[in-house]
Amino acid sequence: MPSKKTSSKKVRDIPGFYEVGRILHMEHFNHQVQDQDTATIFFINGLGLTRDPYQRTDETNIGVNIGFQQLHLPLRGPTHHFDGVIGLVVPDLPVIEARLKRLEDAKKFTGTPYRYNAVNNKMAYITSPYGTDFRLHQMGSIPFGKPLGIPYIEFMIPPGMAKGIVSFYQKIMDTPARVRKTKDVVMTEVVMGPYQHIRFIEKKLESYELFSFHIAIFVSHYDTIKQSLIDLGVDVYGDRTHTCFWNPIIDPETGNHLLNLQHEMRSVQHPDFMHPYTNRWPMDHNPFMHQTEVGEYLLEKLRRT
C-alpha cells in the first residue's frame, strides 16, 4: 500500500479528476469545413491522421480517426470561426512538424490562416487552414493513457458563467465538474471520460455563437439524463434509437440560458460505443476496456429489470 507521502505526490503531479460520472466518453467533435482537398492535405497528409474507410466516405463528409475518437468534417457551407482550442495527443510530434513543414514549403497553405508554433519538443500550437486552433501534445507529456486522441476541447464563455455551467453538468448530467481560477483565467472543467475534459473559459468576446459545432458523448443513463434535460427546459430533438441532440446549456439553479452548444448524446447501447477505429498509428491495446465492461454490466442490469 503506497505511503501517504507517495499518494499526495501523485495527486499534485497529475492534474485532473479521478472519477468518471455518467458521461463515459467524448467520441467526436463536429467541425464544418468548406472543401475536402484542404481538409485532406492538413488532417491526413499533415497531421498524419487517418480518414475512416467505412463511415463518412463520400463527398459530403469526412470522418478523421484520432485513436478512439473522431473529427467529423461535413461540407455544409463556409467554415465558421471557432474561438476555442482542440487538444490532441499524438505519438510523434517531430514527425508531424516535418510533415507540415514539407506541405508549407510546397505552398499548400498559402493564403490561409495556417501557422505552426512549436513551444518545445512536447507541445505545439497549430492554426489550421480554416483558422481553427489546435494544441498538440507529445504522447506521455500529459495524462491521457493512450498514444493518440482528443484529451480536451476548450470553449469560450461569457464572464460570470463558470459556476452555472458546473451546476448544470453536476446536477443534470451527473458528471464531475469544477471551477478553476488562476491569476488571469476562470474556467469550468467537466469530465467527459477518463482523462477527457471540456474546458469552458471565461473570456470577453463579441459573439459566443458556435454555429454548427457540436460534441458527441456517450452516457450510461441515457433515458434518465434525457428526461432531466426535458424537465429543465432544454430542447431535445432528433431523437432516435440510442441517440438524440440537445441544446442549450441552462443553469438549473436560476433557469438562465448559459450557452448554445449542441450535444449529440448516445447511450452505451449505440453500436459505435467504443468502436475500434482504423488508425495509421497502431493502437496496441484497448485502454477503454474497463469502460466496455461497464457498458456490458449496465446492459445486463437493464435486462434484469
Q: Which amino acid is at 116?
A: Y
Segment among 99-103, 200-204, 212-216, 234-238 with least mean pLDDT: 212-216
Query: Does position 10 have pLDDT exceeding 80, yes or no?
Result: no
Averaged pLDDT, 271-278: 84
- Contacts for 219 with CB less than 8 Å, ≥ 6 apart: 22, 23, 24, 173, 225, 265, 266, 267, 268
pLDDT of residue 69: 95
pLDDT tens for each residue of 220-240: 999 999 999 999 999 999 988
pLDDT tens for each residue of 153-169: 999 999 999 999 999 99
pLDDT of residue 17: 62
Averaged pLDDT, 252-280: 91
Query: Does position 244 have pLDDT exceeding 90, yes or no?
Result: yes
Query: Does position 203 have pLDDT exceeding 70, yes or no?
Result: yes
- As a whole-number percent, the residues of the chain with pLDDT over 70 amount to 85
What is the rounded CA–CA span in Å between residue 91 and residue 175?
Answer: 29
Is 13-304 a CATH 3.10.180.10 domain?
yes
pLDDT-derived band of residue 241, with 50, 70 and 90 as boundaries? confident
Complete edge-to-edge strand list for the sheet that includes strand 23-30: 50-51, 63-66, 69-72, 23-30, 214-219, 262-267, 243-247, 235-240
Query: Does position 2 have pLDDT exceeding 50, yes or no?
Result: no
pLDDT tens for each residue of 166-200: 999 999 999 999 999 988 899 999 999 989 999 99
Measure the CA angle with vertex 243, ends 223 and 66; round to 5°.
Answer: 125
The structural domains of the chain, with segments of one domain joined by +, span 13-304
Averaged pLDDT, 8-20: 49
Mean pLDDT value across the chain: 86
Tell me how far CA of residue 25 lies from CA of 65, 97, 226, in angstroms: 15, 29, 17
- 10 Å CB burial of residue 13 (0-12, 13-18, 19+) is exposed
pLDDT tens for each residue of 51-90: 987 777 777 788 999 999 999 888 876 777 889 999 999 9
Query: Does position 109 have pLDDT exceeding 70, yes or no?
Result: yes
